Chains A and B, each alone.
Chain A
Amino acid sequence: MSTGIGARVQRKEDKRYITGKGKYTDDVRNESQAYAAFVRSPHAHANVNGIDTSAAMAMDGVIDVLNGQQLTGDGIGNIICGWAITSKDGSPMNMGAWSALATSKVRYVGDAVAVVIAETQALARIAAEAVEVDYEVLPAVAASDKALAGGAALIHDNAPGNLIYDWEIGDGAATDAALAGAAHVTELAVTNNRLSPNAMEPRAAVATFDECDDHYTLYTTSQNPHVARLVLSAFYQVAPENKLRVIAPDVGGGFGSKIFIYPEEITCLWASMKTNRSVKWTSDRSEAFITDAHGRDHITTAKMGFDAAGKIVGFKVDTIANFGAYMSLFSSSVPTYLYATLLSGQYNIENIHCNVRAAYTNTVPVDAYRGAGRPEACFLVERMMETAAREMGKDPTDLRRANFVQEFPHQTPVIMAYDAGDFGANLDQAMAAADVAGFAARKAESAGRGKLRGLGYSSYIEACGIAPSAAVGSLGAGVGLWESAEVRVNPVGTIEVLTGSHSHGQGHETTFAQIVAERFDLPLENVSIVHGDTDKVQFGMGTYGSRSGAVGMSAIVKAMDKVEAKVRKIAAHVLEASEDDIVIEGGQVKVAGTDKAMGWHEVGLSAYTAHNLPPDMEPGLKEGAFYDPANFTFPAGTYICEVEVDPETGVTDIVQFTASDDFGTIINPNIVEGQVHGGIAQGIGQAMLEQVVYDDDAQLVTGSYMDYAMPRASDVPSFSVHHASTTCPNNPLGMKGCGEAGAIGSPPAVINAITDAIGSNDLAMPATPQAVWNAIQAAK
């Protein structure tokens, strides 16, 4: 059976997970392990006038209680946002100070003010309860529009009016003129609901300081251990990079929430030095709800204008983005360059203008969550298309087709240059698979049972493979977004690939090995993937933004190019042939058209014995490469959701969910389909179940799985997943990325379907039975 590109290979990493032998951060326990528990603010906004640790310190087994004054006194730097956004008036963004432990003021429920280090986790938690903090409670605000309205509590002194930035993209005057001349203008107000990522493994950190070498080791739940080390070193001054090893072992899901370097990791590292003990912190789920970065939370109004033929002439968008109490690592980029740049959707739109105001509120910081900006853009565009079609009396698929981009490359008015796609092919495939032709009969059958049946479309596009370093640098990014790889051929011919990508469910140990096994025609088991340890892998930018295929694998391909070139030279020398005649197949390196050959392992051995190498060739067979992408990649497709609503209760069943995606080259269909399934389930969660709720005092109401509705098995259907692909012209494998599409494309399909069923367009996410029932009643 083939194990190469396109093969449904069973995952190599599964055995340890299905037998309970995975090694996650909380499974690490060092000799004489000490445990950390954080003292967190119960108030959304308060001055800290004093911290009394005496009762906690007096407890048997408490090693130390540390606070923010000590942390900043030791020179630990403030947490930063790594992407600088400039307001439309030319001013820089207003970034307020964020100390890992608050010193004089807390700004959200969960903000940490102190940490207890104790001999057991239970004791640390009990002692944390005994720390007395003198809070002077201040007025608080949770909603972004209220935070920007006059008179709201001021959260950071250097962000007047709680405004972080007021940014725009596109030509406002031209868009206004286009809308003024439009035959029809559709107006829409949408809220993109606030979500909690909820990777099933809670975050954790185990920090150990070695005083002999002044060296730190951090096990952490990270999607990007090298970025963590860089930031911990360069910005937070925990230790120089050569004195800090960061290991992200098995990581139980991320969805964006484990990109960022949080106060807890910083504090554990510092505390391990202060106490000279290995310090371990493991979040529980309640703590995760008040510390893991939240996602989404946009309030948007928009207008889209059409000419008499139904062609879009202009699209004007105004968005408020809730950033929470502090600017998280990539927060600023999410509602700007990852959102507004996708507002052209799959459509040829000449005039687009988007204005984004980012607001501080007294809530958990908000940052990238699966899709990061693109779900917000897709929801707006696809709700707009469906709404406009209904207003104009057009079939929603006809309206989409009339506006699809047909020629590539296509330059949108909002930076992105789409490189390849066939949007009509995905729509056709999805409609056929969903049996749209038979929908009318199914709807009639439902009606006969007193049920309302609806069909909703979403033709999404998104941008992955982030990103060309110079391009993102010009837009304010503080880092380059290339990826690195090293391919080591051992003297016995087996291969280790060291990659800067990080796998936390994506199956890299399998798919990355597949491209190597295919390239050198070797058994899959001869290839091992090494990742997640800064002592093993030189550098890497990590895994997020569906970049591990398009960027991470491209780096491996570039390194393999170099390995192959050297293999050819060695074989040509040993076999006394021309390099051009060398072929690599079946575990052998051969001279084409002859019986001269050497085993792949013999080439490896030749490279390392170095007894008979070409003149001037260095021994060894190990090559590295850095790959900087030439462009974003543009996964696209159409999702069709079919629902049945009980008008008496508002209970909505998704009776069919169909996906047609264009991901470019697919390495392992099992894994790609699994990514789509999971993404759609998260999108259905956003559309029908999930909502982070704060009350008016900015107290978190949804603080556990009793209150925050996670999708369960019975909440989602089986999915009908299909592919109609075009090849990405901008990377060597032709890949686009598949990790986020499901979460991006599905929410508007669900809401379009429910609103189609109930005959009312006024329905916000999450469309709970109560919300659906209310919408039905309001429309009566």
Chain B
Amino acid sequence: MTNVSMTVNGKAVSREVPDETLLSEFLREHLRLTGTHVGCDTSQCGACVVHVNGKAVKSCSTLAASLDGSQVTTIEGLANGGLHPMQQAFTENHGLQCGFCTPGMIMTSVDMVNRYKADGKELTAQAIRGELAGNICRCTGYHNIVKAVEDAAAKM
């Protein structure tokens, strides 16, 4: 067992967990933050993406114990009240259907827009599609997800 302390969505948390506990399990089972989803077991689908110290990370392939002292943001903590522009853009552009991949899509997309803005690069539709390589959606055909990210990028 390992004691893991981190800041999750702005709150300090500390839990005694088995050494092999993944961040996704830590969030879902120990903190009961079930907005982070697990859709595969090979780090391919991206439903589990959260932010660790401001960067997108697949929580299903990260040991919680390796993140002691980190700042973690999940879909539940993305907005400080109200909706983040990316969340708003997903609903306004019908960028989700069943909702299962959506938290990971949104967390990946926020990180994507932040990186492009920081680098001063243009985020084209083609670039968005390439950046979403690690997030699988079975419902939307990605059409409206790309629209949503373009829309949010203009507002972030």
Which A residues are within 8 Å of any B CB, using their own CB?
Answer: 10-11, 13-24, 26-27, 29, 122, 198-202, 250-253, 255, 284-286, 504-507, 670-671, 673-674, 677-682, 704-706, 710-714, 716, 718-719, 742
Contact = CB atoms under 8 A, between A and B. Distances in A.
- The range of chain B's interface size is 35 or more
A285 B35 contact: no
B52 interface: no
6 contacts: A18-B99, A19-B87, A20-B74, A284-B41, A677-B140, A713-B133
B94 A202 contact: no
B92 interface: yes
B91 interface: yes
In terms of DSSP, what is the predominant structure of the interface of chain A? Answer: loop
A199 B138 contact: yes
B100 A714 contact: no
Contacts of B132: 712-714
In terms of DSSP, what is the predominant structure of the interface of chain B? Answer: loop
B138 A255 contact: yes
A674 B98 contact: no
Contact of B103 (A20, A507, A711): A20
A16 B83 CA distance: 11
Contacts of B87: 18-19
Interface string B124-143: 01101110110111111111
Contact of A253 (B32, B78, B139): B139
Given A17-B99, A200-B98, A253-B100, A712 B140 contact: no
Nearest to A282: B38
Given A200-B100, A704-B40, A18 B91 contact: yes
Contacts of B83: 18-19
B44 interface: yes
Contacts of B71: none
Contacts of A20: 33-36, 74-76, 103
Contacts of A670: 94
Interface in B62-112: 74-76, 78-79, 83, 87, 90-92, 94, 96-103, 106
B101 to A, nearest CB: 5
Contact of A200 (B75, B94, B101, B128): B101
Given A713-B128, A718-B146, A122 B76 contact: no
A714 B39 CA distance: 20
Contacts of B113: none
Given A505-B139, A713-B146, A714-B130, A19 B35 contact: yes
Given A20-B35, A200-B47, A286-B41, A681 B142 contact: yes
Contacts of B58: none
A122 B140 CA distance: 33
Given A20-B103, A252-B99, A678 B139 contact: yes
B73 to A, nearest CB: 11
A639 to B, nearest CB: 13
Contact of B129 (A21, A201, A713): A713
Contact of B97 (A10, A674, A716, A719): A674
Nearest to A250: B99
B18 interface: yes
A251 B125 contact: no
A705 B45 contact: yes
Contacts of B44: 704-706, 710
Given A200-B39, A677-B140, A505 B98 contact: yes
Nearest to A288: B40
A680 B141 contact: yes
Nearest to B134: A712
Interface centre among B34, B138, B140 (most CB of A within 10 A): B138
B8 interface: no
A27 B100 CA distance: 12
B94 A201 contact: no
A751 B144 CA distance: 25
Given A17-B102, A20-B34, A704 B42 contact: yes
Q: Which 3 A-B pairs have the closest CB atoms?
A: A20-B35, A252-B100, A17-B99
B23 interface: no
Nearest to A503: B98
A712 B133 contact: yes
B145 interface: yes
Contacts of B32: 29
A362 to B, nearest CB: 24
A251 B76 CA distance: 19
Given A122-B18, A250-B99, A22 B136 contact: no
B37 interface: yes
B98 A253 contact: yes
A100 B45 CA distance: 29
Contacts of A710: 44, 136, 138
Given A199-B138, A704-B41, A716-B142, A18 B90 contact: yes
A14 B91 CA distance: 6
A252 B75 contact: no
B98 A504 contact: yes
A674 B34 CA distance: 26
